[in-house]
A and B are shown apart, each in its own frame.
Chain A
Amino acid sequence: MDYPLIVDLFFVLLSVLAVVSGWRVFCTDSMVRASFFLLVSFIAVGLIMILLAAQYLGVAMFFMMAVEMMVMALFMVMFMMNPAGLNPMMMVHQHRFAIVAGAVSFVVLAAVALLAEFPDSPLPADLDPVTSLGNELLGDSMLIFESAGIVLLTTMIGVVVLSSHRGRFGAAEEGSMPPGLAPGGEPAGMPKESDEGGGHHHHHCH
């Protein structure tokens, strides 16, 4: 399929932008700047998707990545050392192995791209990509789509469990202590402790 010259020009510019900003993610001093470089890389790929007529996916990419990278920048400021890039940063391990692994994966995938024979069947002229995606999501592939939703819900629950400071019956690090049936009463549903070495304080309320 032949694209007009302007599309090819945009594609070259966006590819360079995607690769260069993707590379800068790992060699900038500031972790916040790294997350914005990653955002630039994602937006360039989203624009290439729009050039390929996948408008919905390209725009979804913008929305998702803008929010995701903001969260990432926030986490950088909260948890990481040196978020502002005031000092030089080079926090790497197994550096040579990582470079070799990255280069090998690029060479193998590039060899597939250059040497393999793929069928040349472009989009039909009368295809509306957004309508076709919508019909697929709420039609034949509804089970996959809904399963993705359930998995996302499960993820939300798992994330709350993992990051929550306290569980239902007390702080996450301590043994759980169910509340009493009456206010200040004995913990409900706990077996009676007969040995004095048990160390459970029944009247300790949280």
Chain B
Amino acid sequence: MTLTTLLLLAAALIGIGVYGALSQQSFVMLMMGLELILNGVMLAAVAFWALSGAGVPEGQLLTIVVMAVMAIEMAMGFALVVAVFRTNQADVTEGITELKH
């Protein structure tokens, strides 16, 4: 377990997350992609804190902030899913194409 292997794992999680966020049609699956990206970001932050930052407490604080971002993303995402479903009966991104114009 070195900094390089940890960062490679984080890069793999972020790559899978980017694929998911860009490719999925369903709103909730799209949010799962975003969550995987944040998962990789948190892992990278903890890896830097433990192996490259000499344990400065701000490293853990950054991870806590990312966790809060994740909670906000989930809550707002689900609220938007509910709102869109109520007005458009849409559960896939193609259902709200009028946002393009």
Give A contacts to B, CB under 8 Å.
1, 3, 7-8, 11, 15, 18-19, 22-23, 25-26, 31, 34-35, 38, 41-42, 45, 48-49, 51-54, 56-57, 60-61, 64, 68, 71-72, 75-76, 79-81, 91-95, 97-99, 101-103, 105-106, 109-110, 112-114, 118-124, 127, 129, 132-133, 135-137, 141, 144-145, 148, 151-152, 155-156, 158-159, 162-163, 165
B79 touching A163, Cβ below 8 Å: yes
CA distance A67 to B85 in the complex (A): 23
A-B contact pairs, 12 of them (CB 8 A): A15-B9, A18-B39, A22-B36, A35-B32, A42-B39, A53-B50, A79-B28, A93-B25, A109-B14, A162-B76, A163-B79, A163-B83
B65 part of interface (Cβ distance < 8 Å): yes
Nearest to A9 among chain B residues (CB) is B1
Which 4 pairs between the two chains have the least Cβ-Cβ distance? Answer: A106-B15, A102-B19, A113-B7, A98-B23
Majority SS at the chain B contact face: helix
B55 touching A98, Cβ below 8 Å: no
How many A-B residue pairs have C-beta atoms within 8 angstroms? Tell me.
Answer: 246
A133 touching B61, Cβ below 8 Å: yes
Contact of B22 among A23, A51, A98 (CB under 8 A): A98
Residues on the B chain within 8 Å of A118, using CB: 3, 48, 52
Residues on the B chain within 8 Å of A103, using CB: 15, 19
A57 touching B46, Cβ below 8 Å: yes
CA distance A141 to B59 in the complex (A): 12
B58 part of interface (Cβ distance < 8 Å): yes
